Amino acid sequence: MKERTYHIITFGCQMNVHDSQWLGRALEARGFSAAPLEEAQVVMVNTCSVREKPELKVMSTLGRIRQATGNSPRVLVGVAGCVAQQLGDALFRQRQVRLVAGSDGISGAPAAIERLLDDPALRLSLLDFTSHYEEREPGAPLPRAAAGHVNIMQGCDNFCAYCIVPYTRGRQKSRATAAILDDCRALLASGASDITLLGQNVNAFGQDKSGDGTSFRALLDKVDALPGLARLHYVTPHPKDMGPLDVAAFGELDHLCPRLHLPLQAGSDRVLARMGRKYDAARFLRLVEELRRARPDIALSTDLIVGFPGESEEDFQATLDMMRACDFMASFSFCYSDRPGTRASRFLDKIAPDVQQDRLLRLQALQDELGDRWLAARVGQEADVLLESRSPRDAAAGNGESWQGRDVYGALVHVPLPAGDHLGRMVRVRIEHAHRHSLVGSVSGGRPC
């Protein structure tokens, strides 16, 4: 073990990844350095409770940490995030766990870690929800990257029947617009030109007591106008809150990319009502039509839950029909599973696991078909690709190398290039081949950022 070193293990969504990146930079600003798991003095596990059996995953990870560190009492283990909020002080039954930080409490984790290192007999839990969004301490300088994320809010007020987020991340709290813009400027100053705004329900930004009067569309206008920005994205909107101004932004803002992740969850009106989603299939289809009128080339992806309690085969077929009608280019899909405290966990008409799995495989087969067709249609087109990293693919020919990046639709594109540092370059590429989840192109004209 090396003194004042840390290792972070992250599960879950982009918000968790963003939280972990901030925590690492905050610790580095306090004099810590990153280290492999086997050598770290502080090990943080940032957890997610959205997917199946999250508690088992966390316990398995804690077991792996014990094995890697020899169960040393000198190693400080902390558990943060949604499962930490859910299990609370029960996590202290694990010998090495001395810090439990919930979704709001993670902002106090750096100071808590310092205090715990000074007092080896102490354990701390940071589980209280705050009434307003509390800004976090600044961290070490941002690393050089082509793209970055900025959190604009925390929590959710929707209480969908299946979702644990309001219980583990708390009620909705919007950040101050000025703080968001400062974070965006810092990203741009570090060399990024692609920004994604993050939140559980971004369209509701500003509509809570933490809001400063700025609407989501007004925030988009402000970010879009920042010098140095090339691309703007956001996740995740709620279809019920996406109004005409949000839709029009796709045709009006210079940098808002024609790619939107729009969670459907189910295609059956009966299931949507039971989920508490507050829209029906017709409303969702109208929204898709409005988006395509505003930006005809917009690429849509979605979230889908298979086997929600009471879902019939007819309900499931309605979901498949909606997938075809919306022509989703990608989706995240998984079988329903209970989350403690949610309304759906008390529903008695659960779907048998073998039926759920059969439906999931059929849904994913359809999505593969839709995704393959969308990617195949890109062949022969030209695209601007923002290069993010070296590609694991070998260069197609010569002594060069292959880099990978994203086009304006968020598709991963592999590009053979001469040897060198191409991070952050925007290159004009002709798409030559389509694979299952990515594209391959050749440079037709480069434009450095």
End-of-domain residue from the set 354, 376, 398:
376
Is 269 contained in some domain? yes
Same domain as 104, residue 21 = yes
Is 142 contained in some domain? no
Q: Are strands 76-81 and 97-101 parallel, antiparallel or unpaired?
A: parallel
Is 262 contained in some domain? yes
**CATH number for the domain that contains residue 362:** 3.80.30.20
Same domain as 201, residue 53 = no
Question: Cβ contacts of residue 321 below 8 Å, gap of 6+?
Answer: 267
Is 253 contained in some domain? yes
| pLDDT value for 438 | 96
Same domain as 326, residue 390 = no
Same domain as 275, residue 390 = no
Is 141 contained in some domain? no
Residue-wise DSSP of 172-225: -EEPPHHHHHHHHHHHHHTT--EEEEE-TTGGGTT-STT--S--HHHHHHHHHT
Per the structure, the count of domains in the chain is 3
Nearest Cα to Cα of residue 258 among 231, 238, 229, 236:
231
| pLDDT value for 446 | 45
Tokens of 179: 């703080």
What is d(CA 205, CA 212) in angstroms, rounded to the nearest whole number? 10
Same domain as 330, residue 367 = yes
- Domain range for 408 is 382-447
Instruction: Give the strands of the sheet with 299-306, arranged side by side.
Output: 259-261, 299-306, 330-335
Same domain as 17, residue 89 = yes
End-of-domain residue from the set 334, 357, 376:
376
Is 192 contained in some domain? yes
Same domain as 62, residue 45 = yes
Burial 27-60 (b: 16+ CB within 10 A, else e): bbebebeebeeeebbbbbbbbbbbeeebeebbee
Same domain as 176, residue 34 = no
What is the torsion angle, in degrees rounded to the nearest 10, for the CA atoms of residue 74, residue 79, residue 80 and residue 83? 180
| pLDDT value for 445 | 53
| pLDDT value for 200 | 92
Q: Are strands 299-306 and 330-335 parallel, antiparallel or unpaired?
A: parallel
**CATH number for the domain that contains residue 37:** 3.40.50.12160
Same domain as 34, residue 120 = yes
Is 196 contained in some domain? yes
What is d(CA 37, CA 40) in angstroms, rounded to the nearest whole number? 5
What is d(CA 382, CA 302) in angstroms, rounded to the nearest whole number? 25
Please report, in tens digits, the pLDDT of each residue of the chain (449 residues total): 899 999 999 998 888 899 999 999 999 999 999 999 999 999 999 998 876 677 888 999 999 999 999 999 999 999 999 999 999 999 999 989 999 999 999 999 999 999 999 999 999 999 999 888 989 999 999 999 999 999 999 999 999 999 998 998 899 999 999 999 999 999 999 999 999 999 999 999 999 998 999 999 999 999 999 999 999 999 999 999 999 999 999 999 999 999 999 999 999 999 999 999 999 999 999 999 999 999 999 999 999 999 999 999 999 999 999 999 999 999 999 999 999 899 999 999 999 999 999 999 999 999 999 999 999 999 999 999 999 999 987 655 455 689 999 999 999 999 999 999 999 999 999 999 999 899 999 998 544 33
Is 288 contained in some domain? yes
End-of-domain residue from the set 330, 359, 376:
376
What is d(CA 12, CA 46) in angstroms, rounded to the nearest whole number? 8
Same domain as 401, residue 296 = no
**CATH number for the domain that contains residue 387:** 2.40.50.220
Same domain as 163, residue 116 = no
Same domain as 229, residue 182 = yes
Residue-wise DSSP of 84-139: HHHHGGGGGGSTTEEEEE-TTGGGGHHHHHHHHHH-TT--EEE-PPPSSPPPPPP-
